[in-house]
Amino acid sequence: MATARRATVLALLLGCSRTRAPTSPPLRDELGRPVHVRTLPAHRVVSLAPNVTEILFALGAQETLVGVDSFSDYPPAATQVARVGTDLEPSFEKIVALRPDVVVTATTANPQQAAEAIERMGVPIYVTRTETLADLEPTVLDLGVLVGRAQAAHALAARIREGVAGVRAATARAPRVRTLLLVWSDPLFVVGKHTYTSDLLAAAGGANVAEDAGDGFPKYSLERVLRHQPEVMIVGSHKNDDPKQSPFAYWQRFPELPAVRTGRLHAVDGDLIFRPGPRVVEGARALAAILHPELAR
């Protein structure tokens, strides 16, 4: 609320910049909205999502990054770039002060109001939408065009495509393992269908038992977990996690669950499976190693 109000005040103060004439032909972002990037390719980019930051680094476009959100921590060099606040509440003042040609957001990380508030201050916003694994390739190519690295983008897209295909081929003959992907245990949030994480699980030879939860990363019912009897439960770990607290402590009271009974409770580096970026291949491999240890050579 407070930030939205502040944004409005700023927008009024900076009203003149809103009328600035576009200096390049309109480009369309992944929501199909026209974006008047100040120069194309963009030389000064602010990334408000960790996956966008990772993709831009992988394209060799780190020189264009003048600002990143505070969760952008990979590759390590990303932490040297100026911070502009969190994905949810970026600092509008810092963004404007960086004079970016374009600010890149992600529908999976940033609220649309934040993007629109920045846009009202006359800063062009390019929204990426990478909700499923199939969306990742277009996002990489679009970002390649945005920063003038189309060739590197084609190479990166191919590398991701082939990497995931390799994991898919390796697990193709293995039986599907009924898996629950946890975002949070109590209250319970899970990985639903039509998500890149669920797609990675499928490539790794798993079946998401929480497909009935709906799209995205919804709240889920404990009763359904007990009904679906997952064979494996996987949680995305984070470096901010309390090392003293097991992510599975909550589940130990349910020995009725096959995953608990057989000890198939695993943590995967959350950044590999919850960031639709270049490292999803590693994420798919990590999931496959958990689901199908028999395939590991």
Nearest approach, Cβ of 294 to another protein (angstroms)? Answer: 27
* Span interacting with another protein, options 46-54, 96-104, 128-136, 220-228, rule CB under 8 A: 220-228
158-177 positions binding another protein, by CB under 8 A: none
Maximum alpha-carbon separation in the chain:
64
Measured from the CB atom, is 29 or 271 closer to another protein? 271
Cα–Cα dist 179/291, whole Å: 8
Q: Report the length, in residues, of the chain.
A: 297
Measured from the CB atom, is 45 or 183 closer to another protein? 183
Measured from the CB atom, is 248 or 254 closer to another protein? 254
Q: Tokens 């990979």 correspond to what residue?
A: 74
Measured from the CB atom, is 99 or 238 closer to another protein? 238
21, two tokens: 């004439």
Nearest approach, Cβ of 235 to another protein (angstroms)? Answer: 11
25, 32, 76, 187: residue in contact with another protein (rule CB under 8 A): 187
Examine residue 20 and tell whether it contacts another protein (CB under 8 A). no
Nearest approach, Cβ of 73 to another protein (angstroms)? Answer: 12
Examine residue 229 and tell whether it contacts another protein (CB under 8 A). yes
Measured from the CB atom, is 158 or 222 closer to another protein? 222
Cα–Cα dist 287/32, whole Å: 33
200-219 positions binding another protein, by CB under 8 A: 212-214, 218-219
22, two tokens: 């576009």
Measured from the CB atom, is 109 or 203 closer to another protein? 109
Nearest approach, Cβ of 86 to another protein (angstroms)? Answer: 9
Measured from the CB atom, is 257 or 281 closer to another protein? 257
In angstroms, the Cα distances linking 121 to 48, 64, 98 are 16, 21, 13
232-271 positions binding another protein, by CB under 8 A: 238, 240-242, 244, 253-254, 256-257
Examine residue 227 and tell whether it contacts another protein (CB under 8 A). yes
Examine residue 19 and tell whether it contacts another protein (CB under 8 A). no
Cα–Cα dist 108/95, whole Å: 20
* Span interacting with another protein, options 34-42, 169-177, 226-234, 274-282, rule CB under 8 A: 226-234
184, two tokens: 């949070």
173, 186, 263, 293: residue in contact with another protein (rule CB under 8 A): 186
Residue 98 contacts residue 67 (beta carbons within 8 Å): yes
Examine residue 224 and tell whether it contacts another protein (CB under 8 A). yes
Residue 197 contacts residue 284 (beta carbons within 8 Å): no
Q: Tokens 């810092």 correspond to what residue?
A: 94
Examine residue 294 and tell whether it contacts another protein (CB under 8 A). no
What is the Cα 89 distance to its own chain's centre? Answer: 17
- Residue 135's CB: how many other CB atoms inside 10 A? 19
Burial class (CB in 10 A: 0-12, 13-18, 19+), 58: buried
Q: Which letter, b or e, does each residue of 256-269 get, where b requires 16 or more Cβ atoms within 10 Å of its Cβ? A: ebebbeeebbbbbb
Break the chain down into helix, strand, coil percent, rounded to 5.
Answer: 45, 15, 40
95, two tokens: 């963004």
Please give the size of the binding site for another protein, defined by CB under 8 A: 26
Sites of contact with another protein (CB under 8 A): 184, 186-188, 212-214, 218-224, 226-227, 229, 238, 240-242, 244, 253-254, 256-257
